[in-house]
Amino acid sequence: MSDIEELIKALSKNRENTISTLQALKGKNRVIVGAYCLFAPYELIAASGALPVSLCGTSEKTITHAEKHLPRNLCPLIKSSYGYAITGTCPYFYYSDLIIGETTCDGKKKMFELLAKITPVHVMNLPQSNRRPEDLDLFRAELVHLKKYLEKNLETAISEKRLRKEIRERNEERKISREFYQLSKLDPPPLPGSTVQHVLHGSGYAFNKAEQNTTLRRLIDTVKTAYANGERATPKKQPRMLITGCPLGDATEKIIRFIEENGGTIVCFENCGGAKDREELVDETLDPMDALAKKYINLGCSCMSPNDNRIQLLSRLMDEYRIDGVVDVILHTCHTYNVETFRIRELVQKEKQKGYLGIETDYSSADEGQLKTRISAFIEMLQ
């Protein structure tokens, strides 16, 4: 196995490798705080002394359990997440002392009511817009409310010094992750998009961030050296693709697989596990709570109306990565992202004069044949 392959494996397997670490930390009475969304401020949770962990479900196998309590025509991410909670099959949820939720959609809001019967849940009320000064004031007040909740329930005090430290460290993590995925600006990119996705996804589960940053730095430097020596992991002259929309992972990686199997090269992920959080840093010169509010309210999520930040980010990424085609991934019944496909299509086709493919899917394999056909035809059109 080459050095690159070993480093990629180490970074991609964080989720599996950290379960034993999680058990050990619980044995030492470390407080674990679970979160379902990027809007939950990692820095604030970490500054409380707790360990933040990601909880979203991306597998079909717990959905039948969730449907005993939830309607069938509900987002698969919500059903999968809830299914993992009630079956006790997600160690990250199982070991969480409390959960941070957020009002990104009605389905999740109601799910949090049910989760609160299992474990303590604090729900952040998000503003529906990020354009007005009062929206920022409202969101900052929610962060202050969260800070007080953490301090009271964890019997701790979150100091400004500790919060600034966590902001600096999280910014460093964002910077090095950004440097890693920006390698895909090269033509051809040095790594397949599937590999980039696995590394980014796995990085969210690393508990030792300093060690993760060191490993990722080694990978970046090793890949750059190999590329300079003429090594190429992807063919030349394949259509350069950007994926946007709902979160990807596990079950929805079928889309990534079909793109690569049919001659497309994914060079950018704009969605929650990709550039959406990492492109903008927290301003370290501001008051920490002001800076966190400013950073997180600007996330280009479809819960915001209008969601101009997503359009602006997509426009810039399409130019920087020289995108030929955009694949917009929508999970079934995710109405906000589904409605936004109109604006995304207009940006891609009318303004940028590039190819656009909208895909509505779930966590099952039932649509794989149809997806493979549509993606193949789309890439053939781009070629």
Domain-embedded: residue 250 = no
* CA dist., res. 273 & res. 203, Å (int): 10
Tell me whether residue 137 is in a domain: yes
Is residue 54 domain-resident? yes
Quote the pLDDT of residue 72: 96
Give the confidence band of 140 by pLDDT, cuts at 50, 70, 90: very high
Percentage of the chain modeled with pLDDT above 70:
100
Q: ω into residue 306 within 30 of 0, thus cis?
A: yes
- Identify the H or E element spanning 262: none
Cα–Cα distance, 91 to 264 (Å, whole number): 35
pTM: 0.96
Tokens of 298: 């600007």
Q: How far is Cα 129 from Cα 330, in angstroms, rounded to an integer?
A: 21
Q: What is the pLDDT at residue 204? A: 82
Residue range of the domain that includes 35: 3-160
272: in domain: no
Q: For residue 1, name the pLDDT band (cuts at 50, 70, 90).
A: low
3-state secondary structure of 129: coil
Return the minimum-mean-pLDDT range out of 6-15, 234-243, 331-340, 349-358.
6-15
pLDDT, average across residues 328-339: 97
Q: Does residue 56 surpass a pLDDT of 80?
A: no
pLDDT at position 23, please? 87
CATH number at 7 reads 3.40.50.11890
pLDDT at position 310, please?
A: 98
Backbone angles phi, psi at 314, to 5 degrees: -60, -45
Q: Is residue 107 part of a domain?
A: yes
Query: Residues 285-303: pLDDT tens digits?
Result: 999 999 999 999 999 999 9
Cα–Cα distance for residue pair 184/178, rounded to 1 Å = 10
Distance CA 314, CA 269 (A): 10
Sequential DSSP letters for 1-25: --HHHHHHHHHHTHHHHHHHHHHHH
pLDDT at residue number 282: 98
- Alpha-helical (H) ranges within 88-159 are 91-94, 106-115, 133-153
At 292, the amino acid letter reads: L
Residue count of the chain: 383
Residue 135 lies in a domain: yes
Q: What is the pLDDT of residue 54?
A: 92
Which string of DSSP letters, residue by residue, matches 191-260?
Answer: S-HHHHHHHHHHHTT-S-HHHHHHHHHHHHHHHHHHHHTT--SS-TTPPEEEEEES---GGGHHHHHHHH
Task: Tell me the pLDDT of the chain averaged across its residues.
Answer: 95
Average pLDDT over residues 78-103: 95
Q: Would the pLDDT of 195 be above 90?
A: yes
Asked if residue 351 is part of any domain, the answer here is: no
- For residue 2, the model assigns a pLDDT of 87
What share of the chain has pLDDT > 90, as a percent?
87
What is the side-by-side strand order in the sheet with 355-361?
265-269, 240-245, 325-331, 355-361
Average pLDDT over residues 331-352: 98
Indicate the number of domains in the chain: 1
Residue 330 lies in a domain: no
Any idea which of 55-64, 103-112, 200-209, 348-357 has the lowest mean pLDDT? 200-209
